[in-house]
């Protein structure tokens, strides 16, 4: 299949000099992949090619888990404590299942391939942390070889709490790299439709530390006019939370 020709036809109507237009073009490519590329491997390859052309983070399907059969009695539990760090426990079926998923991820061979294990969904049980396992290349590990001292610090000290009157916040702005595949643009202001506290909802969450007590789930309308939910930490220095008096300075997204 000539991926390049298909992508060029799909994105020809967009002004690729604009970040907003590049993200909309990528969403159009994702719609095509959903409709025409049933195999997860093809879906991932097609959108990875489109992401490189459009200079956006690539979306990926969890091919490894989809290809791994479950018996039904798999159990995994991921706990964490400052003293011992993360501890992963599983029954026999759970550990066998996990080993097969890991083997499938490794077999895909492409950096960035990953699998998500979500809170409250099999095989995770109880008050388990969610888990993401990804395949990365040697360059990725080399870039992080000196991070050990930084990572060992108490994250509560690294992220100071901001004095934000939550009841007055009506919009937000990402003042850094925009979350991938959410149809949002850096430094654009989005009105907030509703706010909920974080209770492990199945939605993209921008985490800044181990603790999630300051994360709020925000509903808003994205660049394509779709209502979405995004989890943001009130103390994330790359996020601005705006009150009514701030909005007079900005062009806001609908909502």
Determine the pLDDT at residue 8.
93
What is residue 9's predicted lDDT score, i.e. its pLDDT?
Answer: 93
Q: Would the pTM count as exceeding 0.85?
A: no
Per-residue pLDDT, averaged over 84-100, amounts to 93
When the pLDDT of each residue in the chain is averaged and rounded to a whole number, the result is 83
Radius of gyration of the chain (CA): 20
Three-state SS for 1? coil
For residues 92 and 85, the model is more confident at 92
What tokens were used for 192?
Answer: 């907030």
pLDDT at 156: 47
* 3-class secondary structure, 249: helix
What tens digit of pLDDT does each residue of 113-127 get? 888 888 778 899 988
Rounded mean pLDDT, 54-81: 84
pLDDT at position 5:
92
Digit-coded pLDDT (tens) for 124-176? 998 888 888 988 889 888 887 865 554 444 444 466 788 888 888 999 988 87
Average pLDDT over residues 97-109: 90
Cβ atoms < 10 Å from Cβ of 63: 22
Provide, rounded to the nearest whole percent, the portion of the chain with pLDDT above 70.
89
Buried-exposed string 91-116: b where 16+ CB fall within 10 A, e elsewhere: eebbbebbebbeebbeebeeebbbbe
Contact 168, 223 (CB under 8 A): no
How much is the pLDDT for 255? 55
* Structure-token match 């026999």, residue found: 92
Pairing of strands 114-117, 76-81: unpaired
Report pLDDT digits (tens) over 219-250. 999 988 999 999 999 988 888 898 887 665 55
Residue 72, token pair as written in the block: 């039904």
pLDDT for res 152: 45
DSSP 120-180: TSTTB-SSPPPEEEE---HHHHHHTTT-HHHHTS-HHHHSPPP---GGGEEEEEE-SSPPT
Q: What Å distances lie between residue 36 and 30, 53, 91, CA to CA?
A: 10, 20, 39
At 11 the pLDDT is 93
Predicted local confidence at residue 203, as pLDDT = 81
Judging by DSSP bridges, how do beta strands 227-233 and 205-206 pair with one another? parallel
């Amino acid at each position: 299949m000539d991926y390049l020709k298909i992508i060029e036809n799909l994105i020809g109507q967009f002004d690729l000099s604009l970040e907003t237009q590049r993200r909309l073009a990528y969403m159009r490519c994702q719609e095509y992949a959903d409709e025409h590329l049933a195999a997860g491997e093809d879906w991932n390859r097609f959108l990875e090619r489109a992401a490189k052309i459009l200079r956006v983070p690539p979306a990926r399907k969890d091919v490894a888990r989809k290809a791994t059969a479950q018996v039904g009695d798999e159990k995994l539990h991921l706990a964490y404590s400052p003293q011992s760090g993360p501890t992963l426990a599983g029954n026999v079926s759970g550990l066998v299942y996990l080993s097969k998923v890991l083997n499938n991820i490794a077999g895909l061979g492409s950096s960035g391939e990953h699998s998500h294990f979500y809170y409250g969904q099999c095989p995770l049980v109880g008050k388990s942390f969610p888990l993401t396992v990804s395949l990365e290349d040697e360059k990725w590990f080399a870039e992080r070889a000196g991070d050990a001292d930084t990572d060992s610090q108490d994250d509560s000290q690294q992220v100071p709490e901001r004095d934000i009157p939550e009841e007055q916040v009506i919009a937000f702005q990402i003042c850094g790299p925009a979350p991938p595949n959410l149809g949002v643009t850096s430094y654009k202001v989005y009105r907030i439709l509703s706010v909920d506290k974080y209770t492990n909802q199945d939605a993209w969450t921008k985490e800044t530390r181990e603790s999630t007590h300051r994360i709020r789930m925000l509903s808003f309308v994205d660049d394509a006019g779709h209502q979405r939910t995004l989890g943001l930490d009130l103390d994330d220095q790359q996020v601005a939370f705006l009150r009514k008096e701030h909005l007079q300075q900005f062009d806001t997204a609908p909502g």
